[in-house]
């Protein structure tokens, strides 16, 4: 089953959470899964730092306990899609299978004047 983490492809120019959150509460803790990051575009001569973060809290407290399960640095122009896949064994601390668990994409940093188009998905 393939599910979106972000709300489709998103173009961002500032650091912060990317639109969209995926509940991982119904995914068994032992399930084989793949987290996918599609990098669809990046401004030339700019850099960005992207992370997948999870939480085990709900509501207004969601992601106050966030921890990074994968981090990617993108440098320079991206004019055709780059897809990065992270399997469960590469993400040993990802939280799934319990109430309130969720996953998001967060742009931790992006150079001034940079635009980044990304799309996050999870398959299990």
Q: Which pLDDT does position 79 carry in this prediction?
A: 92
Q: Which pLDDT does position 113 carry in this prediction?
A: 97
Domains and CATH numbers, the chain: 2-123 (2.60.120.260)
d(CA 69, CA 12): 21
Write phi, then psi, for 60 (nearest 5 degrees).
Answer: -65, -20
12-36 confidence digits (pLDDT tens) = 999 999 999 999 999 999 999 999 9
d(CA 100, CA 58): 5
d(CA 11, CA 34): 23
pTM: 0.95
User: In Å, what is the CA distance from 31 to each residue of 5, 53, 104, 109, 115?
Assistant: 17, 18, 18, 31, 34
């Amino acid at each position: 089953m393939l599910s979106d983490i972000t709300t489709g492809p998103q173009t961002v120019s500032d650091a912060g959470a990317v639109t969209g959150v995926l509940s991982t509460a119904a995914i068994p803790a032992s399930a084989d899964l793949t987290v996918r990051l599609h990098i669809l575009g990046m401004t030339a001569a700019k850099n960005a730092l992207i992370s997948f973060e999870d939480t085990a809290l709900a509501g207004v407290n969601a992601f106050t306990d966030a921890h990074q399960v994968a981090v990617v640095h993108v440098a320079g122009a991206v004019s055709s899609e780059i897809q990065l896949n992270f399997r469960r064994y590469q993400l040993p601390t990802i939280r799934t299978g319990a109430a309130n668990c969720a996953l998001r994409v967060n742009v931790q940093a992006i150079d001034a004047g940079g635009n980044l188009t990304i799309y996050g998905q999870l398959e299990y």
